[in-house]
Structure 1
Amino acid sequence: MATINPVKFIQQVRAEVSKVVWPTRREVLLTTVMVFIMAALAAAFFAVVDLLIRTGLSGIYGIFG
């Protein structure tokens, strides 16, 4: 097994971190807002689907029950 030089490892880590392109504050804000909007749309969609299924089953139970 090869020995690992801690100093060389830290240098390599710092070199890799310097290559990272960090998002701007505006990009973070926009993507966060988009996530909240998509979550709200998904919640509304599933609420409507749930309502339709519940109404359909209530109708079926009303007819046969």
Structure 2
Amino acid sequence: MANPFEFLQQVRAEASKVTWPTRRETLITTGLVVLLVVVASLFFVTVDQAIRLLLAFILSLGK
């Protein structure tokens, strides 16, 4: 491995090649992620409640 100073120069050179997203792109992407998390959580809560009700109904048949 090269010396630490040369390594940091190489890291800096590679980081300058990266195309960083704009603030607007970052906010839009973050908003979409939050929206999808909310939609997925609502879906799983609904499915969980449906399964709970179905199992409660099936178990009540045995009484």
Taking structure 1 as the reference length, the TM-score comes to 0.86
Give 4+ residue runs of structure 1 displaced > 3 Å after superposition.
none
Q: Distance in 1 between matches of 2:58 and 2:4?
A: 70
Q: Aligned-pair RMSD on alpha carbons?
A: 1.2
Q: Which runs of 5+ in 2 are unaligned?
A: none
Q: Distance in 1 between matches of 2:3 and 2:51?
A: 62
SS at match of 2:19: coil
Q: 1:14 deviation in Å?
A: 1.1
| 1:9-48 residue CA offsets vs partner (Å, 9 max, x unmatched) | 2221111010011110001100100001100011011011
1:20 aligns to 2:39 (yes or no): no
User: Residue 42 of structure 2 aligns to which amino acid in structure 1?
Assistant: A
Q: Which runs of 5+ in 1 are unaligned?
A: none
State how many pairs are aligned. Answer: 63
1:49 aligns to 2:50 (yes or no): no
